[in-house]
Amino acid sequence: MKVGEMVKSKKAFVSFVEMIVVLVTLFIAFSIFFPGFSYRNRWTEAMMKLKARDLIITADRSGMFFPCAFSAACLKNTFLDLIIPTNRTNIIPWTEIEGTVKSQISISCNCTAQNIEYLYSAFNSLTINGRDIAAKICYTDLESAINPCMQSSDILIVWGYKDISTAKYREVLRQYLQSYGGVLEITDFPSSYSLSGDYTQQQIFGISDYIGIGSPAYDLFIKPANASLITYQPYKFFHYLPLRLTAATAGVSTAGCAQNMTGNFTIRTKAYPFSVCNGATVYFDTNGDGGIDSQVSGTFRLLSIGEWLNFTLKSVSQQNIKVSFNQPYKFLDFAKTASTNNIISSDDNYDRVLLKTDFEAGPHKASAVVMNGTRQVQTVWMADFSRDVSKAGDDHKNLVLSLILALSNKKAFSVISPNVKTGFVTSYIGVAATDVYEIFRFNLGLGYPY
């Protein structure tokens, strides 16, 4: 073959290759800019959401929703495994609760061993709307770590005076409020101490001091004007929470009462004895003279310092009863001692005051419990009722519990933890009102392991 013919042949071959490359490029470009028609029906997602919705509605209408919503065993064994048995399907369920008090509250406490023991006793057999509420309490020194024995906590309690006025502690508290739950400070201030330069107390807890507060006799609740105020939740819990009273001492048996157990209900520094007859009937010393004189049921009254206070008997069992405090309830003053606690709201905003004393100086109201923050993140300063342990009663215990329940973290927590590759969540608003009006969101997820 001649040289000229060989060159022409190679040129023709190169042109042919270039044409193929151009055609392939055009084909790819057309497929990108003008894709072929495709259709996804998302039937799997729709079916999973439909199953979840039907499961929740079935649980609610069958009366199993609230009993099972907070219990992993009830959810799996009593309900979910009967409807969608995981041993015969590849569907995996998980659940979350948010917006209400957790069934176990984790507490970090900068306090004494005696304070921790007191808190555990307060949570003994605590229930809300029929579900058990427990506590896990861990000591913290506020130095090395806020939560030294748990991954996180729902509330931080600082009980007893500690100088937290420095910027270091102020930052520690701010970081805790941003990451976890509320902060409850139960303390008296030294007689020589002034809050005028304490920016932690002013900014974090919203309190200041005022010279000129006299000697109050009582601490009174300021009733919240509406449910949006930060004092509403602890106010609600205090007046509707069923407080457990133990009847552990065997009393004298009578003809009509073969098993008679006795106990005490301590309010305003006075113990009112009561007895439980055959685990069904309750008798109280209603006039405070030391003798059990009246059978009570429903709403009942106790005479205290010349006035009748109202309570509600919530339940009766063999060795305990549960009572709630009716409105209005007045504490014997625990906010003011001879030399401490001239505390007022720093901005004279009494929508932030849960308990005020009965002493007022112009626009200033001496306070026993002051709240600060928003509905999501809150702090509380509370005068130290335990400075005289002999005067600490069941009314103080109920107040501390109410504050802890109100301040604790309400973020979502798992009842059944997920372990899925792909899943879909359906939410449902639950309401309970056996004891306290409670609204929460229940999230049910269904998914596949792969």
Q: Of 47-61, 145-159, 300-314, 370-384, where does mean pLDDT reach its minimum?
A: 145-159
CA distance 275 to 261: 5
Structure pTM? 0.86
Q: Of 147-151, 192-196, 314-318, 428-432, where does mean pLDDT reach its minimum?
A: 147-151
| Average pLDDT for the chain | 85
pLDDT of residue 341: 67
Query: 131-165 pLDDT, tens per residue?
Result: 999 999 999 988 867 777 767 889 999 999 999 99
Query: 387-439 pLDDT, tens per residue?
Result: 877 778 999 999 999 999 999 988 877 777 666 667 788 999 999 988 999 99
pLDDT of residue 93: 84
Considering only residues 365 and 350, tell me which one the structure prediction assigns the higher pLDDT: 350
CA distance 175 to 191: 30
Query: 291-300 pLDDT, tens per residue?
Result: 888 999 999 9
Q: Could you identify the residue written with the tokens 């906590």?
A: 153
Sign of CA dihedral 400, 406, 407, 413: positive
Q: Of 2-11, 20-29, 176-185, 267-276, where does mean pLDDT reach its minimum?
A: 2-11
pLDDT of residue 10: 56
Q: Of 21-35, 192-206, 384-398, where does mean pLDDT reach its minimum?
A: 21-35
pLDDT of residue 110: 93
pLDDT of residue 295: 92
Q: Which amino acid is at 342?
A: N
Considering only residues 181 and 222, tell me which one the structure prediction assigns the higher pLDDT: 222
pLDDT-derived band at 28 (thresholds 50, 70, 90) equals confident
pLDDT of residue 449: 75
Percent of the chain with pLDDT over 90: 45
pLDDT-derived band at 255 (thresholds 50, 70, 90) equals low
Give the residue-averaged pLDDT of 278-286.
92
> Strand 155-159 to strand 104-110: parallel, antiparallel, or no bridges (unpaired)?
parallel
pLDDT of residue 97: 92
Q: Which amino acid is at 263?
A: G
Q: Of 9-13, 184-188, 425-429, where does mean pLDDT reach its minimum?
A: 9-13
pLDDT of residue 2: 52
Pick the CATH number of 104-236+351-407 from 2.40.128, 3.30.1450, 3.40.50, 3.40.1580: 3.40.50
